[in-house]
Amino acid sequence: MYISQTYILSSAQKNTLRRMWNREYPVQMAFSDITGLERYIAGLENVSHFLLVSPAGEMKGWAAIFDRDGERWFAIILDRDVQGNGWGSALLQKLRQCSNVLNGWVTDHNMYARQDGTNYPSPVSFYIKNGFVVTGERLNTIQVNAVKIVWQQS
């Protein structure tokens, strides 16, 4: 596996990202079609994409860093079959090499389900293990209830 960086995603990469997004994230965050994902990506300012690629050339993960409201933010998704093998931490390390601060939103409960009905486990402990701090700031929308996490270079 290797990690590559790009500023623009191809159509095939967007389709793979949508499939991963809809498979791994809570069902209420799913994109019903590719245009929804394309609108999301187009709204990211100063974005860099990082792709986790298998030896066979398959995209197995995606991460991005971008600007929002004067802060540096990130998003990350790993295909279920590569989770738990250190690749999420490796993607975060790549993001940290490009930024002094990373902000994100994550669910801090286990009440959401994925599209296939399986539980979406809160990733908070993963981020704490990777040096993030949970703030008291919350995001409460129709789609998701989440807590803000921050990593800052020491």
Q: What structural domains and CATH numbers belong to the chain?
A: 2-152 (3.40.630.30)
pLDDT tens profile 16-39: 999 999 999 999 999 999 999 999
- Answer yes or no: is pLDDT of 142 > 90: no
Quick one: average pLDDT of 28-57?
Answer: 95
User: What does the mean pLDDT of the chain come to?
Assistant: 94
Residues 59-89 have pLDDT tens digits of: 999 999 999 999 999 999 999 999 889 999 9
| pLDDT over 90 at 140, yes or no | no
**How much is the average pLDDT of 47-51?**
97
Instruction: Write the DSSP string, the chain.
Output: -EEEEESS--HHHHHHHHHHHHHHS-GGG--SSHHHHHHHHHT-EEEEEEEEE-TTS-EEEEEEEEEETTEEEEEEEE-GGGTTTTHHHHHHHHHHHT-SEEEEEE--SS-EE-TTS-EE---HHHHHHTT-EEEEEEEE-SS-EEEEEEEE--
81-120 confidence digits (pLDDT tens): 998 899 999 999 999 999 999 999 999 988 999 999 999 9
Residue 5 reports pLDDT greater than 90: yes
Residue 123's pLDDT band, with cuts at 50, 70 and 90, is very high
Confidence at residue 141, expressed as pLDDT on a 0 to 100 scale: 85
54, 69, 138 from 57: Cα distances, Å = 5, 35, 38
